[in-house]
Structure 1
Amino acid sequence: MKLESYVKLTFLSLSLFLLIACTSEEASKNKTEEPTKQSQTEKKKENQTSLKENIPNAPTNTDELIQYPGGKNAGKSIGILPEDEKKQVHKDLDEFPKITEDASETEKELYWNNLLYLFQEDYIDPQTVLEKWKMESFGSPDIEDPRFQFKENLNVEILLDASGSMNGKIGGKTKMELAKDSITEFSSSLPEGANVALRVYGHKGSGSDQDKQLSCESSEVVYAMENYEENNFEEALNKFNPSGWTPITLALNEAKEDMAEYNGDQNTNIIFLVSDGINTCGGDPVAVAKSLADSNIKPIVTVIGFDVDAKGQEQLRNVADASAGIYANVNDQKGLSEQFKSAQDIAEKWDRWKRDSLSDLDAIKVDRNFMILAFSNDWGRKRDKQNSNLISASDYLYYEKKMITKEMYNYLSDKRDEQKYLTDRSQEEVVSYLESINDKTYGEMKKSIEEKYKQK
């Protein structure tokens, strides 16, 4: 009886041991399987982390290409950037997530759209070319706009952004240094009898909230309206450094007061607004720009966005449109100097008019042909730069950071080729079109371009 009880007890103990062992093994198995299921979910999330979803899709036709905003790194060539600027580009790429082999087509397309958004170049639209032609045709009876007819006096005021972001570097020099160089080059080229003034804004205080009021109230004429004088102008440029916020509204308002005495009936008045960002202070710069256009000053306004992001480009373009002016986005000193050259050309024509030796309309047509060539070359340079940067970015993500798969690397390569083909095709289309309208009057050209490329 005791033996039988012992056997039963032993059997129960063994059964209990096996049951516990199996349960532990199953629990252990579940624990190892659980992370696997979890990691698959995380992989899906991983492919979307840090990717912006509220950005435009890659352009698929000429209209979309023209209207697509220039990217954060537009105008840069990664391969020849100074080391500190190259690190900043790589920092942008480091924020991209790892892409896994099971990434969906939607995830891959979002990845490509984000990459293009960083490096898309800002391609000049035909409307900008037309406005340049208008500047080129200054003084021609073909232009009915009274602002573009010869007047007895020529006055130019430059409004220069001196906010802290102008300390940012392009090619080893700060944006402020590049702007000062271009402004000096332009101002020194003005003919005898032409006047120039320089007003800076956002040059006091700092970018801190504590200094915002001080900075937003800072706008000052450092060189009053008069003929260019080298030593005085250089001294004026040395009076300020970039430091604070960006009171564009204030600067435009005060420029209107500066030029109030120069009636547009007797004066050709030109205003340049140079900024590397949006208005960060109070007021509505678009409304002030509209009041400038409606004033008796009748200025020709050129707004230059200097290395500006998409949001800044939109606001500055609206300012230009409200003033019936011209907007240009530039990313380096060469682009900045080219924009000032338009006013330089007006000054030269004005000087020749004063001397009764203005060239005829045939010369204007030849000049337009050269501008079409410059337009084509600009698109070509930007296309090559964009393609090279996208290659460098893909190589960095694949070879250096191991963030994308070989399949994804090839996908980005195919997308890059598609974009290059679109740019080539659009370049040929727009150049051919501009050549076809060169013989038209300005009014006919304006109407034709607005209808074809929807640029109102």
Structure 2
Amino acid sequence: MKKLSFLSILLSLVLLTSACAGEAAKPKQPAPKKAATTAEGMAMEGPGKYAGDRYDEAKVQQELKKWPKNLTADQVYTRLVWLLAEDYKPVIKEVKEYKPSFALSKLGNFDPNQPKSGSNDQKKTKQKNIVVLIDSSGSMAGKVDGKTKMEEAKQAVKEFAKSLEGDVRISIRAYGHKGSNQQKDKAVSCASTEELYPLSTYQEDRFVKVVDSLKPSGWTPLAAAIKAAGQDLHAAHPDDENMVYVVSDGIESCGGDPVKEAKTLHEAKVKAVVNIIGLDLDDKSQKALEEVAKAGGGEFTNVTSSEELRNRFADFLTYVGRTNEVNLWSIGNSNELYWERQRANNYILSLLGTFIQPGKFPSLIDKEYEHMNAAVQFLVEQKIIPESMGGYEGAVSKKLDKRREMLKQYQSKLYNQKMKEIDDDYARAMDLMKKIKKQEYEKAETYMP
């Protein structure tokens, strides 16, 4: 009997020792770290044990059941953060590291984004297409320097075409060259505009023959001629330098709207620039033709001598060719910079949203708030915390409301900071583009008399 009693005592000691050893081996749960009190701290303290895809309501409730019943509101809040705080850091990192590309395209061989570095890139030669519209109305029989305006115009055009170098195509279109400037022939003359030298490379014999055949005849259908110039350029590529030169001594006399037609041609796919060279114009005609050139994105000049006429043709080729290239560069970059800013704004909105528009960050705030509130209600139902602590006006509920509000304020602050950064980068790129455009215009103007 004594032997049996000794064995029982020994067995009890073994079991007790094993139990103690098991308890000692079980890892002790670390005490939750005190929750952050600043908005940025709250945004950076997650993720909780059951954040994001790890959230499992049943498992969360099993954890909650183990909580002691004598916790303060601060302790409950800290434990909720430790358990359920969402992970905002990846979104914050993505926002802060995002950098839209507000780079400007190259202008010839000049890279605006690397102004101090050299470039071995060869400037791509663009196709130049030139349509010359020659006024063949009766008034071109008037004289300048002892010769008719028509003779001076023809001579200047021939010298201009002969001086063309490189891959340049030229076209000659006459207007008002049929009928007469009498009322009886107005309908015939106003309907007369004809491409006499189709857009092609310069061939001297054929070109000279066409130009020499022109004589001052009828009325002035300028609008119809400008519209027809668009047809002459129908095969041109938008990247080509497409230019129209109008040589005229007077304004539209056939009821057309040359300002409208010049604007339409300039804004068409070929983006042609319409330039006007006036021959000894009166004030009214100068003002009218200046408006046509302005609408066509080009230049107007009035010459009073044959020398001025020839010089102006040469100057226009250099100036307008360059300014047209700079204009196209400026328009292209303005559009791309605008859309890049739109893309950047939309991307940041998808991450941060606003108070009225969803995004990743506010979605995390709402999810976290929903999970924490559900946990508080469970704690109240299980009588782990009192209703006075977890109810609508309870201390814990107020802490959750304050947390959500502070996270939203942080979201708004981050949004405003990033949008300002984007707008500042956009403004710098636009300012650089305008500065370069101004400089290039000033360079081009050095070729002008």
**TM-score normalised by L of structure 2:** 0.45
Instruction: Report which of the two structures shows the higher radius of gyration computed on alpha carbons.
Output: 2
**TM-score normalised by L of structure 1:** 0.44
Greater relative contact order (CA < 8 Å, ≥ 6 in sequence): 1
